[in-house]
Chain A
């Protein structure tokens, strides 16, 4: 019976890097939600995986996506780094593509520096229209 890919059950997993002391290997903690049978509530259950990171580009605290290797690389390493989802200290918001920190963007989102004269007059006219409309509401 040949297994085409993945000597392990988890093919793709997302986890947080907790250690990079090993050469070209990252220690990744993966949490899954597991149902407690009595409380019927989901709790995070942790498991650590070792992932092959050839360029040693992971820092402790990164959120990474791991892909299962076709065969085990060594006794414990069965995954490799597919991509770094969120780099610690350098989170890029995937919707806008801009760097952000917490709930605020790091750079100014509005492009008011690039507006021309025509744009500003058009916008100010629109604002005037809105001012006229508001008492009617």
Chain B
């Protein structure tokens, strides 16, 4: 049963998370003006079709607006927090070139992303147990090689408190 649509791979989480453009925190709004016809706008159209979902997935707080057939030339415009505007002409560029350019000018660098990743990892200790929201595992019984959960497999007699107490009383 295939997925519906022209390129349904665009609607998979794996594809969306493959986007590598993460904007710097100063970018607030991104505006794309493109045309629905014409060879020069082809790259911009492909960019909107394939790459905009990836970008919006990675930057949920950036407002992205698309304008069709407003001007003859396609362009991108970014509005930064300082009031600065960045105009990017995308006439006669492939969508790959556009994403590379945008990543170079306004994207977080790889080192920064890795640093943030490490910071986030530092906050949570992987060896602790607790609720799924904050820890990896809830109980020792989830690990292979450890005593299985008594809810599914009854514990051997010697481990049960009832038996131990009886033994103690006897002795």
Q: Which residues of A contact B (CB under 8 A)?
A: 10-14, 30-33, 35, 39-42, 63, 65, 67, 82, 85-86, 91, 93-96, 100, 102-105
Contacts and interface: CB of A to CB of B under 8 A. Distances in A.
Contacts of A103: 35, 37-38, 69, 71-72
Contacts of B16: 40
B106 to A, nearest CB: 14
* Interface range, B side: 20 to 34
B87 interface: yes
B70 A91 contact: yes
Nearest to B13: A40
Contacts of A33: 52, 56, 64
18 contacts: A11-B81, A13-B28, A14-B63, A14-B79, A31-B65, A32-B64, A33-B52, A33-B56, A40-B13, A42-B52, A42-B56, A85-B31, A86-B67, A91-B70, A91-B71, A93-B71, A95-B91, A103-B72
A95 B72 CA distance: 10
Contact of A41 (B11, B29, B65): B11
A12 B69 contact: no
A105 B71 CA distance: 8
